[in-house]
Copies of this chain bind each other. A is one copy, B any other.
Amino acid sequence: MLAQETAAHRAPPAAREATEAPLSALFTAVGARMQFARNSEIYGEGEPAEYFYKVVKGAVRTYKLLSDGRRQIGAFQLPGDFFGLEGGDEHRFSAEAVSDATVLLVRRSLVTSEADRDAGIARELWRLTASGLDRAHEHMLVLGRKTAQERIAAFLVDMARREKTAALIELPMSRLDIADYLGLTIETVSRTLTQLENSAAIELPSSRRVVLRNRVTLDRLNA
């Protein structure tokens, strides 16, 4: 196949970016593995940002609270996702394990000093942060302008994309987590999932399992 031939002729590593994901490599090489039980705090808003994190297993939520307890989850981190990449030296939101989770930690000062020496790491750090910003923008559109049905559809399609399993989604989080991510109540999340099931867009074998039955319908809700 032509593609394979092309690959064989590729320039030597030195000419290209030798290590495609040097930050990931750094985590693999020197990251400390740590376990967090379901619902336990990984760090809190306002604490000094001492480490950078990468999810190995399980899921993590990052969120902000209002004084009266209202919560907005900004993102869910799944295996392979980084979090806590703060520019300042204080965490700007809190992080908790959604399910039992394994996380890799690397001391922030080590990452930044490596980034100063290795432009590849600096670039990856920036790219990762920028892609987080992009996802945040996308989620603002969801929170500011979409209906409950559209929010749920966006959430399900995104989860399906991130878990590689084509149609069956295993949700690591509760209805309350979903509600606090989508700016809804648990009742609305529940009702909307039921509606989508009644309209044959999805199937709910159990409360934590969702089968996407009609992607066209779901994608239309995402336009």
Residues in A lying within 8 Å of B, measured CB to CB? 13, 62, 64, 66-68, 70-72, 74, 85-88, 92-93, 112, 115-117, 119, 122-123, 125-134, 136-141, 143-146, 180, 182-183, 223
From A68, A93, A136, residue with most partner B Cβ within 10 Å: A136
Contacts A70-B145, A87-B131, A136-B137 aside, 14 further interface pairs with beta carbons under 8 A come to A66-B145, A68-B223, A70-B146, A72-B144, A87-B127, A87-B129, A88-B127, A92-B137, A122-B123, A122-B126, A125-B126, A126-B126, A126-B129, A144-B183
**Is the pair B140, A74 in contact by a Cβ cutoff of 8 Å?**
yes
Residues from chain B with a CB closer than 8 A to the CB of A70 are 145-146
Q: Are A132 and B133 in touch, CB under 8 angstroms?
A: yes
The residues of B that contact A130 with a CB separation of less than 8 Å are 85-88, 129
Say whether, besides A66-B223, A183-B144, A129 and B133 are in contact (CB < 8 Å).
Answer: yes
Residues of B within 8 A of A122 (CB): 115-116, 119, 122-123, 126
A141 touches B66 (CB 8 A): yes
- Which residue from B13, B128, B140 sits with its C-beta under 8 Å from A136? B140
A selection of 30 A-B contacts at a CB cut-off of 8 Å is A64-B138, A64-B141, A66-B146, A72-B141, A72-B144, A72-B145, A86-B134, A87-B126, A87-B127, A87-B134, A88-B127, A88-B130, A88-B131, A88-B134, A92-B137, A115-B122, A115-B123, A116-B122, A116-B123, A119-B119, A122-B126, A125-B126, A126-B129, A129-B133, A132-B133, A133-B133, A136-B136, A136-B137, A140-B143, A143-B183
Q: What 6 pairs across the A-B complex have the smallest Cβ distances?
A: A87-B130, A144-B183, A136-B136, A122-B122, A143-B143, A87-B127
Residues of B within 8 A of A182 (CB): 144
Chain B residues with CB under 8 A of A132 = 133
Expressed in whole angstroms, the minimum distance between the Cβ of A193 and any Cβ of chain B is 19
Residues of B within 8 A of A136 (CB): 74, 133, 136-137, 140
Contact B125 A64 (CB under 8 A): no
Provide the residues of chain B in CB contact with A117, threshold 8 Å.
Answer: 13, 119
For A137, give its contact among B64, B66, B129 (CB under 8 Å): B64
